Amino acid sequence: MSIRHVAVGALAVLALIPLGSCTSVAPVKVTAGDQCFRCRRTIPDERVASEIISANFVEKFRAPGCMAKYVVDHPDDRGSVFVTDYTTGKMIRPELAYFVPLTVNVDTGERDYRAYRLKTIADLVAADLNTTAVDWKTVLERARS
């Protein structure tokens, strides 16, 4: 085998490496009525749902705050994390979202977040609710306390 054949073979292998590493993880549709992986309660609104997709399965959550508590409690559980943009209903990475804290149950005082892809929309909603939009890092910090 000549050096030229080895070089061509090596280039072919190197050209294929990016193809194997570019596999993308696509979000799975969350439906109202699905069960939250963390709290086992019913997911009432798919527009606030979130999920973690791991190698083995999809973990669906009622809302970003519920998922954040799970992420903080299970730091070794690795996977692709998604939240639903409340405006479009499309899943996005939480690092790209702005979160508006709100009361989700007036009777119990339960609070969580709605995620918005656009900061301008998040800020408008937050102003209407007399609060401030926060980033994913802040949601995780609040889940730790």
Q: Is residue 53 over pLDDT 70? A: yes
pLDDT tens digits, 61-103: 999 999 999 999 999 888 999 999 999 999 999 999 999 999 9
> For the chain, what are the domain ranges?
25-144
**Confidence band for 122, pLDDT divided at 50, 70 and 90:** very high
Percentage above 90 pLDDT, the chain:
68
When mean pLDDT is compared across 6-15, 30-39, 116-125, the lowest value belongs to 6-15
124 C-beta neighbours (distance < 10 Å), count: 14
Q: Which two tokens stand for residue 19?
A: 């193809």
Q: Is residue 19 over pLDDT 80? A: no
Three-state DSSP class for residue 67: helix
**Confidence band for 127, pLDDT divided at 50, 70 and 90:** very high
Quick one: DSSP state of residue 21? H
pLDDT at 125: 98
Three-state DSSP class for residue 26: coil
Q: Is residue 114 over pLDDT 60? A: yes
